[in-house]
């Protein structure tokens, strides 16, 4: 007998349903990490996490936040697992944390990590921590402790401080009678109940109680500012500060007296550590870890573990700090990587900028920097032009392929910007010094200097003093590619109306160009490097370095900045004479007035209007959206004509017209 049609359809639907169920959502999973000392900690993750995410969880865990140089071992997968390995393939999900040997750079990073953890005890000013009031130390009575929990009059008496002796109950006493209850106004009873409730809710939280009280007082007075007070920067750093705790370290620095006279193989440098109790400890740093320069010769892979073995005072201070972190945020998320020049600086820096020490993550003594990679030697000799061509040739047909390519392009382009800005400012400084000594005669097209370094071509021109002439180069490097204004507009318009998900990366000429304005000069930086031969088949992948610590400082991709109070060597102090300052201000005002006058005098016909290619892309998208809306409206009208007009549609149309 031939198979029935209905049976075949049912089989097909069942297959489609099974295919839809293959897309499984991430699920919570417990990851057990066995520490070198035998202790175990359980981390909460999801099935899509990778070992890199496990490193992030360990970095904010109070038991493991000081560890920096380790690998993972699994009983099935083996040793030194890759960070990109997903934890869902680890069965059982138990990892052994294995300590690895240090290099000198890794040892410096380990020291910087400890300094970064304890920086919150000294670097952010007052913590805002206040002693709890006596009322918050009183025992809290629950609903099971007699009728006082349910009796409004009992709340009144307790709020006024007229509490009965311990062990007595309001229910068994005749002091609060019906006449007494009637004599008490209802508003006061309600107010007493609210006060008592607030005491219970905000017990141990004086800051929250004070804020609520101030808001209520402002509400009664009708003060809008007091009802919602503006946030203050100092309060932000008070949350990060733990200055009320004893700092575990007074200082930690390279030893000036102790040197490695009898240097053994693997020894790097010597540290002087002043602990919280004033004890000075000398530590030798080697490839195996840290060891004390004493008769005992105590050695450990972690600096924190070594200091804990040498001093009980340090152990207590460090444990108190970790306990404070947990109390501040019960989910862990221990903050680290503080930077002074990311957005703002702590108020203590504004009070005494000359004495404000560099935060550990930016302290060059311990390998810190501004966050960017412009000074790294690894990326200074990359063949930039070839790298951008490889990125443009990477596969991009599916969303997954585009995601991989865009991620690598984002990281690589940010490294290119860092190095381009660093090299451009160095070249401009050299040109500025030569120009101040005797002047520089410009070459063709007002080019002052051309240089090639780090596979970058740098062209330096003198910046114009007219503000109205700076717009074109800011939008597009037309002067770098010798394009006229009309040619630039046509190029951007064509680029916009033909744009897709790969337009930015495929335009390697613009991707590899950076314009830097500095000290009255303009430096146009273009990617150079190994040329691509005609007919050469480019690789379909590019090795790009990921951000350290799993992107913990991802907000500082391009933070190559300098604090204002730090002047470079040989810098001349600004003039303090009032007349010189006044003349400088007059010069700035005259330049602005001249620029505004020229802008007003330019007619619309002679103005150099520019169009960004993104506007063309938005225009095309708007037209496509409008076309889809018109098509849907036409289909709805045709359907309405076939079925006859309805009263509802006519009513909606009339309301739309009247609106």
pLDDT digits 0-9 by tens, 526-561: 998 777 777 778 888 888 887 766 666 666 666 666
Q: How much is the average pLDDT of 185-209?
A: 55
User: 124 falls in which pLDDT band (50, 70, 90)?
Assistant: confident
Indicate whether 137 pLDDT > 70: no
Q: According to the model, what pLDDT value does residue 10 have?
A: 47
User: 603 falls in which pLDDT band (50, 70, 90)?
Assistant: low
CB 247, CB 118: distance < 8 Å: yes
Per the model's pLDDT, the better-predicted residue between 618 and 601 turns out to be 618
Name, of 292-296, 338-342, 541-545, the range with top average pLDDT.
541-545
Candidate from 2-6, 148-152, 354-358 with smallest mean pLDDT: 148-152
Indicate whether 175 pLDDT > 60: no
Q: According to the model, what pLDDT value does residue 301 have?
A: 94
> Strands 28-34 and 94-99, how do they pair?
parallel
Integer angstrom CA distances of residue 340 from 97, 111, 168, 205, 447: 33, 19, 58, 29, 37
Percentage with pLDDT > 70 across the chain? 65
In three-state secondary structure terms, 431 is: helix
Q: Where are the alpha helices (DSSP H) in 102-205?
A: 104-118, 152-159, 178-183, 186-201
CB 397, CB 502: distance < 8 Å: no
> Strands 280-286 and 513-518, how do they pair?
unpaired
Indicate whether 163 pLDDT > 50: no
Indicate whether 451 pLDDT > 70: yes
Per the model's pLDDT, the better-predicted residue between 405 and 199 turns out to be 405
Indicate whether 417 pLDDT > 60: yes
For the domain spanning 28-100, the CATH number is 3.10.20.90
Q: How much is the average pLDDT of 240-255?
A: 90
Tell me the pLDDT of the chain averaged across its residues: 75
Q: According to the model, what pLDDT value does residue 572 have?
A: 54
Tokens of 294: 């004493």
Distance separating alpha carbons of residues 107 and 109, to the nearest angstrom:
5
Q: According to the model, what pLDDT value does residue 632 have?
A: 85
User: 78 falls in which pLDDT band (50, 70, 90)?
Assistant: very high
Q: According to the model, what pLDDT value does residue 657 have?
A: 41
Per the model's pLDDT, the better-predicted residue between 551 and 1 turns out to be 551
Integer angstrom CA distances of residue 447 from 385, 421, 481, 488, 523: 23, 19, 14, 21, 10
Q: According to the model, what pLDDT value does residue 25 have?
A: 83
Indicate whether 510 pLDDT > 50: yes
Indicate whether 180 pLDDT > 60: no
Question: Could you tell me which of 525, 489, 490, 493 has the C-alpha nearest to residue 510?
Answer: 525
Candidate from 162-176, 189-203, 440-454 with smallest mean pLDDT: 162-176
Name, of 1-10, 26-35, 462-471, the range with top average pLDDT.
26-35
Candidate from 39-43, 309-313, 365-369, 470-474 with smallest mean pLDDT: 470-474
Indicate whether 159 pLDDT > 90: no
Distance separating alpha carbons of residues 183 and 189, to the nearest angstrom:
11
Phi-psi region of 332 (alpha: psi -120 to 50; beta: other; left: phi over 0): left
Under 8 Å CB-to-CB from 190, ≥6 apart: which residues? 152
Q: How much is the average pLDDT of 158-176?
A: 40
Under 8 Å CB-to-CB from 128, ≥6 apart: which residues? 207, 235, 238, 239, 241
Q: How much is the average pLDDT of 148-159?
A: 36
User: 470 falls in which pLDDT band (50, 70, 90)?
Assistant: low
* 3-state secondary structure string across 190-208: HHHHHHHHHHHHCCCCHHH
Q: According to the model, what pLDDT value does residue 250 have?
A: 93
Torsion of CA 644, 647, 653, 654, to 10 degrees: 140
Q: According to the model, what pLDDT value does residue 277 have?
A: 93
Per the model's pLDDT, the better-predicted residue between 405 and 205 turns out to be 405
Q: According to the model, what pLDDT value does residue 153 have?
A: 38
User: 369 falls in which pLDDT band (50, 70, 90)?
Assistant: confident
- With both helix axes pointing from N to C terminus, report the angle between 312-328 and 104-118 in degrees, rounded to the nearest 10: 70
Using a 10 angstrom Cβ sphere, with 0-12 exposed, 13-18 middle and 19 or more buried, the burial of residue 242 is buried
Look-up: residue for tokens 């401009």? 428
Q: How much is the average pLDDT of 480-486?
A: 65
pTM: predicted TM-score of the whole model, two decimal places: 0.66
Per the model's pLDDT, the better-predicted residue between 641 and 422 turns out to be 422
User: 593 falls in which pLDDT band (50, 70, 90)?
Assistant: confident
Q: According to the model, what pLDDT value does residue 296 have?
A: 73
Q: According to the model, what pLDDT value does residue 646 have?
A: 52
Percentage with pLDDT > 90 across the chain? 28
Domain extent listing, the chain: 28-100, 384-556, 618-658
Indicate whether 474 pLDDT > 80: no
Q: According to the model, what pLDDT value does residue 166 have?
A: 38
What distance, in Å, lies between the first and last C-alpha atoms of the chain? 67
Q: According to the model, what pLDDT value does residue 267 have?
A: 85
User: 320 falls in which pLDDT band (50, 70, 90)?
Assistant: very high
pLDDT digits 0-9 by tens, 630-644: 888 888 888 777 666
């Amino acid at each position: 007998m031939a198979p029935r049609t209905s049976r075949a359809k049912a089989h097909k639907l069942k297959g489609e349903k099974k295919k839809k169920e293959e897309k499984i959502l991430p699920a919570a999973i417990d990851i057990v990490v066995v520490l070198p000392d035998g202790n175990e900690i359980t981390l909460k993750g999801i099935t899509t996490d990778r070992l890199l995410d496990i490193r992030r969880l360990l970095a904010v865990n109070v038991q493991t936040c000081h560890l920096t140089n380790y690998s993972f071992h699994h009983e099935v997968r083996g040793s030194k697992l890759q960070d990109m390995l997903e934890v869902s393939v680890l069965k059982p999900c138990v990892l052994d944390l294995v300590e690895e040997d240090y290099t000198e750079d890794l040892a410096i990073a380990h020291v910087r990590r400890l300094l970064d953890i304890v920086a919150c005890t000294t670097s952010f000013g007052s913590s805002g921590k206040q002693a709890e009031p006596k009322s918050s130390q009183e025992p809290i009575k629950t609903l099971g402790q007699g009728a006082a929990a349910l009796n409004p009059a009992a709340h009144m008496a307790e709020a006024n401080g007229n509490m009965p002796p311990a062990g007595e109950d309001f229910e068994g006493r005749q002091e609060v009678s019906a006449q007494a209850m009637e004599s008490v106004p209802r508003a006061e009873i309600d107010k007493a109940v609210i006060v008592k409730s607030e005491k219970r809710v905000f017990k141990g939280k004086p800051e929250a109680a004070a804020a609520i009280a101030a808001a209520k007082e402002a509400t009664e007075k009708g003060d809008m500012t007091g009802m919602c007070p503006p946030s203050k920067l100092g309060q932000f750093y008070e949350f990060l500060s733990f200055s009320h705790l004893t700092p575990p370290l007074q200082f930690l620095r390279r030893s000036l007296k102790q040197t490695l006279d009898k240097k053994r193989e693997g020894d790097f440098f010597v540290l002087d550590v002043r602990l919280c109790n004033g004890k000075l400890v000398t530590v030798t740093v080697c490839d195996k870890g840290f060891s004390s320069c004493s008769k005992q010769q105590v050695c450990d892979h972690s600096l924190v573990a070594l200091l804990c073995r040498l001093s009980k005072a340090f152990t207590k201070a460090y444990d108190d700090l970790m306990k404070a972190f947990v109390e501040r945020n019960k989910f862990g998320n221990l903050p680290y990587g503080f930077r002074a020049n990311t957005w703002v600086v702590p108020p203590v820096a504004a009070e005494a900028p000359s004495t404000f020490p560099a935060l550990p993550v930016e302290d060059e003594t311990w390998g810190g920097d501004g966050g960017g990679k412009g000074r790294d030697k690894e990326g200074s000799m990359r063949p930039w032009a070839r790298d951008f061509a490889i990125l443009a040739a990477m596969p991009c047909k599916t969303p997954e392929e585009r995601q991989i390519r865009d991620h690598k392009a984002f990281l690589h382009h940010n490294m290119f910007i860092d190095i381009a800005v660093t090299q451009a400012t160095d070249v401009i400084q050299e040109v500025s010094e030569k120009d101040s000594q005797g002047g520089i005669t410009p070459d063709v097209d007002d080019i002052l200097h051309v240089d090639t370094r780090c596979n970058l071509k740098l062209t330096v021109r003198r910046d114009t003093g007219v503000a109205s002439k700076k717009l074109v180069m800011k939008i597009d490097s037309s002067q770098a590619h010798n394009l006229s204004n009309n040619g630039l507009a046509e190029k951007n318009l064509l680029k916009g109306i033909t744009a897709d998900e790969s337009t930015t990366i495929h335009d390697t000429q613009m991707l590899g160009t950076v314009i830097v304005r500095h000290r009255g000069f303009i430096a146009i930086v273009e990617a150079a490097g190994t040329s691509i031969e005609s007919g050469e088949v480019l690789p379909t992948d590019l090795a790009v370095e990921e951000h350290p610590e799993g992107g913990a400082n991802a907000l500082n991709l391009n933070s190559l900045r300098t604090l204002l109070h730090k002047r470079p060597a040989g810098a001349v102090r600004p003039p303090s004479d009032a007349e010189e300052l006044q003349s400088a201000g007059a010069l700035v005002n005259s330049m602005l007035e001249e620029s505004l006058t020229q802008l007003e005098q330019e007619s619309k016909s002679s103005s150099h209007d520019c169009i960004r290619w993104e506007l063309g892309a938005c225009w095309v998208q708007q037209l496509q959206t409008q076309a889809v809306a018109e098509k849907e409206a036409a289909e709805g009208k045709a359907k309405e004509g076939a079925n006859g007009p309805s009263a509802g549609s006519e009513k909606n149309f009339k309301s739309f017209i009247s609106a």
